[in-house]
Chains A and B, each alone.
Chain A
Amino acid sequence: MPLDTSTYALAHLRLDGRRWNELRRLHAQISTQAAADGSSYLEQGNTKVLCTVSGPQEQKGGRGGARDQGNEAKVDVEMNIAAFSGMDRKRRARSDKRVQEMQVTIASAFQSTLFTHLFPHSTITVTLHILSQDGSLLAACLNAATLALIDAGIPMSDYISSVTVASAPSSDQSLDEMDPLLDLNGLEEQELPFMTVGTCGRGPGGGEEKVMVLVMETKVQMARLEAMLSVGIDGCKQVRGILDGVVRSHGKRVLESKVS
């Protein structure tokens, strides 16, 4: 189904009425699941993800001998895409390469920001349930996982925040340039070349944000990457601010309930 992106050029407004650098409504909660060690629920527009974390716990035995070589915790990610989450009801097999790739991405991204060396011979399991899909799936999963891991109290160097960014035909048609668009929904994702950027802050005064995750799977001219990347990194900062707000307000609530 081709999407009519030509209207963007006229009104400078995207299909859902946003401007180019506007995020969708990002709503999140933490500690939603009592049974898990850490959990979060995140809505990024119509993409809805529920994340639970269990661990760090001792490794389940039976795989490759009880002793793992590592002196650090292993991050395991399981993704569960609900059959009703997409436009048409479809069961995604567990062996779907695309899902597996996302699992690998999320696991290795957190493997390097979490202080895994504090928990030798253990596993941290991150389970993601995708309840509704509308673009930016990987980004939403990364954000939800960050929140759940914070809730689980696992030490990390900083938040990983993530966002998608696309390259769309410019609003000024006289120029042969492209405009970057931030935080895509499902329709835009099908139509435009886009990438998922995930950055990790460097703590207060730690310098520039670092790109932890960068996944792009559509063809785009090299020259456009710079604009996309800088808008993406900027978008990650915005997302980070929102996530930070969620964590702080939750912390406040916890503190207040303790005091009273």
Chain B
Amino acid sequence: MPSEVTPSTNNHDFILTALRQNLRLDSRPLDTYRPIDLTFSSDPDTYGQTDVRIGKTRVLCNISCEVGAPYPDRKFDGVFTISCELGPMGSPAWEVGRQDQTEIILSRILEKTVRRSGALDTESLCIVAGQKCFHLRADIHILDHDGNVLDAACFALMAALLHFRRPDVSIEGEEVTVYSVREREPVKLTMTHHPFCITTSFYPSRQGSDDDLISVLDTTLQEEQCRTGSLTISLNRHGEVCNIAKYGGVGIEGLSVLTCVNASLEKAKMFDRLLKERLAEDEKARQAKIGAMGLELSAENERVMERPVG
């Protein structure tokens, strides 16, 4: 059965009644996210692998890069592709190889939010114009689907991009040398801004009327299945909106779109702060590890020095 099981009438009605009383099943306020957890790969040589959990939703993002030829019509740009994988691991409703609506929307919104908005400076991926550039690839895997995959995937992708380091290169005349991580300190990607996706879901506040809508952030899967419409806004902390997507669903007033944008700005700032914090923590942990390794190395050197004296 490919389609997701829809909630029973009882659950559907109960969720709506509860929302109308400002209550959610997990007892959190309507405009609050579930606990967000972000972890990076613990291997000090691995960069750009993130694991994001928002409640029970879990998304893994991995960035990889290799040297290749740029597109002939974009000689000065590197290549950056985002690929989303929605397999049966995330939800039994997803089958391998069969595209469904969630995947189309997910990949399009990430594309618009991160690629089209120029969050990653692709020119910095160019090595020799028209001949060599870095191909950057972001693989996003939804490991567990409990609603709000979009926000989680976008956060995972941004975190991975900011964490990733590409190998350093040097050019001498015609010759290009790509240094491994051991040889030279890898280089961070050039990011121009940090956009995040925020999805607001809408619920009718009265039976059979679309006039007043209850807006809810970070919905769980059950809540998502009961919603009558949603609006995804991607913006960075400076209030630059790079994507708005409302694909049908219940009609909303122009004014409430603007209210949503304002509310989303707060959440984008929250995501931004959280990401900065975690990146700094990770940086510190990595430095400490390298520091410990450095000590070991120096101890070995000292022993060598002692020998001639003794």
Residues of A within 8 A of B (CB): 64-65, 69, 95, 97-98, 100-101, 104-112, 195, 199-200, 207-223, 225-226, 229-230, 233
A222 cross-chain contacts in B, Cβ below 8 A: 235, 239-241, 261-262, 265
User: Chain B residues with Cβ under 8 A from A211's Cβ?
Assistant: 246, 251-254, 257
Does chain A have a CB within 8 A of B90?
A: no
Task: Assess the A112–B261 pair: CB atoms within 8 A.
Answer: no
Does B2 contact A64, Cβ atoms closer than 8 Å? yes
Contact between B258 and A225 (Cβ–Cβ < 8 Å)?
Answer: yes
Q: Shortest 8 CB-CB distances between A and B: which pairs?
A: A210-B251, A108-B248, A109-B248, A222-B239, A214-B246, A216-B244, A217-B112, A219-B242
Given known A-B contacts A112-B249, A211-B252, A218-B242, A98 and B108 have beta carbons under 8 A apart: yes
CB-defined contacts of B254 to chain A, threshold 8 Å? 208-209, 211, 229-230, 233
Q: How far is the CA of A233 from the CA of B252 in the complex (A)?
A: 12
Range class of the B interface residue count: 35 or more
A220 interface neighbour in B118, B210, B240, B245, Cβ under 8 Å:
B240
The minimal Cβ–Cβ distance linking A176 to chain B, given in whole angstroms, is 15
A-B contact pairs, 18 of them (CB 8 A): A95-B99, A97-B108, A104-B105, A105-B247, A195-B244, A207-B211, A212-B251, A213-B246, A214-B231, A214-B244, A215-B244, A217-B116, A219-B241, A221-B239, A222-B235, A222-B240, A229-B257, A229-B258
Name A99's closest neighbour in chain B (CB-CB).
B104
Known contacts A64-B2, A112-B250; 9 additional CB pairs below 8 A are A208-B253, A209-B254, A211-B246, A212-B246, A213-B248, A215-B246, A219-B240, A221-B241, A229-B254
Q: Are A210 and B252 in contact (CB under 8 A)?
A: yes
Task: State whether B248 touches A111 (Cβ < 8 A).
Answer: yes
- Contact check, A101 vs B104: say whether CB atoms are below 8 A apart: yes
With A210-B253, A213-B247, A213-B248 already in contact, the answer to whether A219 and B104 are too (CB < 8 A) is no
Interface residues of B in 218-262 (CB under 8 A from A): 228-229, 231, 235, 239-254, 257-258, 261-262
Report chain B residues within 8 Å CB of A108: 247-249
Which residues does chain B contribute within 8 Å of A223, judged by CB atoms? 239
**What are the residues of chain A within 8 A of B262 when measuring CB–CB?**
222
How far apart sit A216 and B1, CA to CA, in the bound complex (Å)?
34
Residue among A98, A100, A219 with most chain B CB within 10 A: A219
B residues whose Cβ falls under 8 Å from a Cβ of A:
1-3, 6, 99, 101, 104-105, 107-108, 111-112, 116-118, 210-211, 228-229, 231, 235, 239-254, 257-258, 261-262, 265
A41-B111 Cα distance, complex, nearest whole Å:
32
Which residue of chain B is the closest to A212 with respect to CB atoms?
Answer: B251
Q: Which residues of A contact B107 (CB under 8 A)?
A: 97
With A101-B108, A110-B248, A211-B253: A219-B210 Cβ-Cβ less than 8 Å: no
Which residues in A have their C-beta under 8 angstroms from that of B248? 105-112, 212-213
List A contacts of B117 (CB < 8 A): 218-219
Please state if A109 and B116 are interface contacts (CB–CB under 8 Å).
no
How far, in Å, is A60 (CB) from chain B's closest CB?
Answer: 16
Q: Min CB distance, A194 to chain B, in Å?
A: 11
How many angstroms between the C-alpha atoms of A189 and B250 in the bound complex?
Answer: 27
A173 CB, nearest partner CB in chain B, Å: 22
Minimum CB–CB distance for A101 against chain B, Å = 5
Within 8 Å CB of A200, what residues of B?
Answer: 251
A220 adjacent to B252 (CB under 8 Å): no
Find chain A residues with CB under 8 A from B99 CB: 95, 100
Bound: A218/B262 CA distance, A: 18
* A217-B257 in contact given A110-B248, A212-B251 (Cβ < 8 Å): no
Residues of A contacting B211 in the complex (Cβ-Cβ under 8 angstroms): 207
Chain B residue numbers with a CB within 8 Å of A106 are 248
Q: Whole-angstrom distance from the CB of B86 to the nearest CB of chain A?
A: 14
| Given A215-B245, A219-B242; A101-B252 close (CB under 8 Å) | no
> A107 to B100, alpha carbons, bound, how many Å?
14
Residues of B within 8 A of A216 (CB): 241, 243-245
Tell me, rounded to whole Å, the shortest Cβ–Cβ distance linking B240 to chain A.
5
Complexed CA–CA distance, A128 and B144 (Å): 36
State whether A97 and B239 are in contact (beta carbons under 8 Å apart), knowing that A110-B248, A214-B245 are contacts in the complex. Answer: no
Distance to closest chain A CB from B140 (angstroms): 14
Bound: A215/B232 CA distance, A: 10
A212 to B252, CA, bound (A): 7
Docked complex Cα distance between A221 and B238 (Å): 8
Find out whether the CB atom of A64 lies under 8 angstroms from the CB atom of B251.
Answer: no
User: Using Cβ atoms and an 8 Å threshold, which residues of chain A touch B116?
Assistant: 217-218
A46 to chain B, nearest CB (A): 24
* Residues of chain B lying within 8 A (CB to CB) of residue A221: 239-241
Which residue of B has the minimal Cβ distance to A199? Answer: B251
CA A229 to CA B244, docked complex, whole Å: 12
| Whole-angstrom distance between the Cβ of B203 and the nearest chain A Cβ | 14
